[in-house]
Structure 1
Amino acid sequence: MKLHWSPRSPYVRKVMIVLKETGLEPRVELSRNVVALHMPTPQAVLADNPLGKIPVLITDAGKPIYDSRVICEYLDGLAGGGFFPADNALRMEHLTWQSLGDGLTDILLLWRTELARPAGAWEAVTDAWRIKIRAGMRQLEADAPRLSALPLGIGQVSVICALGQLDFRWTDCNWRRHFPALAAFHAQMLERPSVRDTVPDDDNAGDNVADITAGHLWFDQ
């Protein structure tokens, strides 16, 4: 298999954690790509995903699968299951956390691009995003005991990747001080090699977006 990959992508990180946890990583060749909203999409990515996004997994049969949610479920099936529980109530719990984690990540990625616009960010939009990020983090703080208690599944993986994006691109937001239960959950997850070894890394394959997020995301208000 082949994976269109970047060490900075939180969605690629989701896939990499699942690959490592399932033991499937040795079967996958990584293909480095730089993908950003403001840049032309690499033809190699566009050929396999008409949306021009990563991750994209090319199966052993040569079929492209895109979107981290779909890829992770495919890999889970190859490995015999576990990340997407068979019990319907537990599965819905994990899928809801996945939706929340991915939704927070979506906002953080779009927000960073919005701040880089030459004309300046649209404050009405960024103000709305700030409200949603704070609400999402409060929900995760309330859910943290449950996240910590359950065996690792796609819900925890998605939340880990959202928190990792905060650490990677919003370094002064100090989220741990405001959400101690969530911080404890994150520390617990970092004890796993799959999580620790996939912490986002800026490998200098530049996307030409400066680190301009400092001071734009605060939980004090």
Structure 2
Amino acid sequence: MMELFHAAASPFVRKVMVTLHETGQLDAVKIVPASQTPVSPDAGNTAHNPLGKIPTLTRPDGPALYDSRVICRYLDHRGGGKLYPEARLWETLTLEATADGIMDAAVLMVYEHRVRPSEKVFDGWLDGQWAKITRALDALEGRWMSHLSGRLDMGQIATACALGYLDLRHGERNWRAGRDGLAAWEKRFAERASMTATRAEL
């Protein structure tokens, strides 16, 4: 059986969990809790992933996989290959990368407060990360709504997980302001069974 090193609040882990739901592979994976920060990695995870990040997916028939994009691509292939459609592959990959970039910046903002001593928190760094997120959100609203409204793919899953993480950790910044189309799309997508089953609580 495969094992997934897992932390419920991680948007990258959630992306993998949603993929497992959408591809019908939950029963093939054992969930292994992993509690860690960049300065205190989980020893069980680092035994399989030298970078010490989550998610990590172990397999009985090959080396462990890590980085959510690699894991999701593998799970999609294993489950029938529907979430990376060839007809719009580059758009799907670019949308997934955009959403992952939002997640990266949002997680770094959390770690700036959680890991760094309070007297050393750098507001300019926080502002720079939020600027990345703002540009990406504006791009989603301005360029990607037709793709988001199309057939389910990994770009949509990643985007929904990124927006969910903004609500979880940065809700006071109100990413929805001025982005009515994206907000309406997120509201609909969040009702999918895979999204409600993987929602983390504050």
TM range (shorter): over 0.9
Structure 2 matches for 1:112-123, cutoff 5 A? 112-116=110-114, 117-118=116-117, 119-123=119-123
What is the match of residue 46 of structure 1? Answer: 46
1:132-143 to structure 2, matched below 5 A, reads 132-143=132-143
Counterpart of 2:99 in structure 1 is 101
Gaps of 5+ in 1: 203-221
What is the CA–CA distance in structure 1 between the aligned matches of 2:189 and 2:166, rounded to whole Å?
Answer: 16
Distance 1:181 1:129 in 2: 23
1:6 pairs with 2:7: yes
The separation in 2 between residues aligned to 1:7 and 1:127, in whole angstroms, is 26
For 1:14-163, list aligned pairs within 5 A. 14-38=15-39, 40-61=40-61, 63-87=63-87, 90-116=88-114, 117-118=116-117, 119-163=119-163
Give the Cα–Cα distance (whole angstroms) in 2 for the partners of residues 4 and 169 of structure 1.
Answer: 21
Residue 113 of structure 1 and its aligned partner are, at CA, apart by 1.4
User: TM-score with structure 2 length normalisation?
Assistant: 0.92
User: Partners in 2 of 1:32 and 1:160 — Cα distance?
Assistant: 23
> 1:166, 1:130 → 2: CA distance?
11
C-alpha contact (below 8 Å) 1:144/1:182 kept by paired residues: no
Give 1:59's aligned amino acid: R
The gaps in structure 2 that reach 5 residues or longer are: none
Letter in 2 for 1:164: G
SS at match of 1:199: coil
SS state at 2:38 partner: coil
Cα distance between partner residues in 1 of 2:27 and 2:201:
21
What's the Cα RMSD here?
A: 1.5
TM-score scaled by structure 1? Answer: 0.85
Given that 1:144 and 1:181 are in contact with CA atoms closer than 8 Å, whether structure 2 keeps it comes out as no
Secondary structure in 1 matching 2:4: strand
Secondary structure of the residue that 1:30 maps to in structure 2?
strand
Task: Give the Cα separation in 1 of the matches to 2:65 and 2:191.
Answer: 30
Q: CA deviation at 1:62?
A: 5.1
Deviating above 6 A after TM superposition, structure 1's stretches of 4 or more consecutive aligned residues are none
Q: Which has the higher helix share?
A: 2
Separation in structure 2 between the aligned mates of residue 196 and residue 146 of structure 1, nearest angstrom: 24
Cα deviation, residue 157, structure 1: 1.0
Equivalents in 2 of 1:35, 1:161: separation in Å? 20
Aligned length: 199
Amino acid at match of 2:19: V
